[in-house]
Amino acid sequence: MTESQAAKKPILLSGIQPSGHLALGNYVGAMRNWVNLQQDYLGIFIVVDLHAITVRQKPADLRKRCLSFAAQYLAAGIDPAENIIFIQSHVPQHAELSWVLNCYTYMGELNRMTQFKDKSQRHQDNINAGLYTYPALMAADILLYQADLVPVGADQKQHLELTRDIANRFNHTYSPTFKIPEPFIPQAGARIMSLQEPDKKMSKSDSNENNYIALLDPPDVLRRKIKRAVTDSAREITPESVNNAGIGNLLTIYSVLNDQTLAAVADQFAGQQYSVLKGELADSLVGFLEPFQQRYDQIMGEQGYLSSILDEGAQRARYMASRTLSKVYRKIGFVAPGRNR
Ligand code: ATP
Ligand code: LTN
């Protein structure tokens, strides 16, 4: 795609933190929609490593994971010729705009963020300022590119609303500067639940790996995790099963993978034992993830190719981001560098 063709399309933007193992919840809630929507948009897909260090990461693991996540974006079906894929720390404007936006974000707003509350409970030994101001960095990610649509899971709705509030506040204080982004939260699968604790969301950094399906789990592990997924003590599926945390979650995953409605799936399995659904779900997962993993292995075997995509992505991103950032600096009243030369 030429720059002028790309410039005409609206912008789709999203990111995932390179922490833990990319999981089925991330695919169903976010990546699947990136792939489905990419035709009509210029997609900007970011591996948000600056966000990941709000929780301690081992340097060698973080380095590997950033490349692995980018390869998984491609393996999921993001077309690198038509979209921009890059690593957040390669584009310094994210950190720069986030400082500015921190000064237009109220502590009262940040205090309400449930992700901050959750994560500070999980990491009580490291409740750092970055974890707290994280939404301003996320707002910078989105606003730098004048994004139109941001496909995310339901847990990010609150951060998206804050992004819109910050953008509106800045636009009203100065003059229109930022596009106000719309969230895209899928009807089905916006909140995939943990397999062992189905009252909380599936999370790729869960300390119990039986709680999530990693996109790179081998078939025997996939089958084992599904088999052990927690359900209730009833054994048979009924139309009401969709409202049950554990079995409802499995039905939801099956419906999304097979492009069926939840009601149709509940109908299809009505009267069957839970074990039948688990068996069929495991087959669907293996059928979906095996080709994904083959594409992933191939991409990881071509490191030069992956690096060239990320380098080109970062270069295009820096150009787009620098235009927004200079506008912001000018409106605030910062002196342009080299003004008297
Ligand atoms: P971590 O456990 O490492 O904090 P996470 O699994 O919550 O991570 P994020 O990097 O925070 O993942 O989110 C990446 C994307 O995946 C976001 O759009 C988020 O809304 C979506 N997502 C995360 N978990 C789920 C889930 N269980 N169901 C649906 N979407 C999800
Ligand atoms: N905060 C998100 C990840 C994220 C993101 C973004 C999502 C960072 N920057 C920009 C969409 C757009 C999360 O924790 N899931």
Identify the bridge partners of residue 87 per DSSP, sorted by sequence position: 47
Summarised one tens digit per residue, pLDDT across range 237-284 is: 998 999 999 999 999 999 999 999 999 999 999 999 999 999 999 999
Longest CA–CA span in the chain (Å) reads 80
pLDDT tens sequence across 182-218: 999 999 999 999 999 999 999 999 999 999 999 999 9
pLDDT band at 1 (very low <50, low <70, confident <90, very high): low
How much is the pLDDT for 234?
A: 87
The top-level CATH class assigned to 209-297 is: mainly alpha
pLDDT at 122 over 90: no
Measured from the CB, is residue 17 less than 6 Å from ligand 1? yes
Residue 341 confidence (pLDDT): 57
Mutation test residue for ligand 2: of 19, 34, 44, 46, the one with most atoms within 8 Å of CB: 46
| pLDDT score, position 340 | 64
Cα separation, 300 vs 74, whole angstroms: 10
CA-CA distances (angstroms) from residue 82 to 39, 44, 77, 179, 231? 9, 10, 11, 22, 42
Whether 14 shows a pLDDT value over 60: the answer reads yes
Question: Which residue has its alpha carbon closest to ligand 2 atom 9?
Answer: 138
Q: Is the CB of 16 within 6 Å of ligand 1?
A: yes
Q: What is the mean pLDDT of residues 107-115?
A: 96
Out of 21, 88, 155, 192, give the residue to mutate to test ligand 1, the one with the largest number of ligand atoms within 8 Å of its CB.
Answer: 155
Residue 14 alpha carbon to ligand 2 centre in Å: 6
Residue with the smallest CA separation from ligand 2 atom 5 is 15
pLDDT value at residue 284: 98
- Residue 8's pLDDT is what? 86
| Domain chopping of the chain, boundaries | 3-185+303-332, 209-297
> What pLDDT score was predicted for residue 189?
95
- What residues act catalytically? 119, 201, 204
Locate the ligand 1 atom nearest the alpha carbon of residue 191 and give its number: 28
How far is the centre of ligand 2, averaged over its atoms, from the C-alpha of 259 (Å)? 26
Q: What is the mean pLDDT of the chain?
A: 96
Please report the atom of ligand 2 found closest to the CA of residue 137. 9
In this prediction, residue 233 carries a pLDDT of: 86
CA distance 288 to 261: 18
Ligand 1 centre distance from Cα of residue 84 (Å): 21
| pLDDT at residue 3, as a whole number | 64
* Mean pLDDT computed over 70-77: 98
**Minimal-distance CA residue to ligand 2 atom 1:** 138
- For ligand 1, pick from 24, 26, 121, 197 the residue to mutate: most ligand atoms within 8 Å of CB: 26
Q: Is the pLDDT of residue 2 over 70?
A: no
C-alpha pair distances (Å), 43 with each of 13, 77, 84, 142: 6, 12, 6, 12
Residue 292 sits at φ, ψ, to 5 deg, of: -60, -45
Distance 88 CA to ligand 2 centre (A): 11
Pocket residues: Cβ below 6 A from ligand 2: 13-15, 17, 48, 51, 138, 141-142, 150, 152, 156, 159
Residue 123 predicted with pLDDT over 90:
no
Q: Average pLDDT, stretch 220-238?
A: 94
Which tokens sit at 117? 């509350």
User: Please, which residues bridge with residue 193 across strands?
Assistant: 201
Distance 8 CA to ligand 1 centre (A): 30
Query: Cα(155) to centroid of ligand 1, in Å?
Result: 7
> Percent of the chain scored above 70 by pLDDT?
97
Q: Is 153 in the pocket of ligand 1 (CB under 6 A)?
A: yes
CATH of domain 3-185+303-332: 3.40.50.620
Q: What string of DSSP letters covers 243-310?
A: GSHHHHHHHHHHHHHTT--HHHHHHHHTTSBHHHHHHHHHHHHHHHHHHHHHHHHHHHT-HHHHHHHH
What number does the ligand 1 atom closest to the CA of 190 have?
Answer: 29
User: Separation of 265 CA from ligand 1 center, angstroms?
Assistant: 25
Report, as an integer, the average pLDDT of 299-309: 97
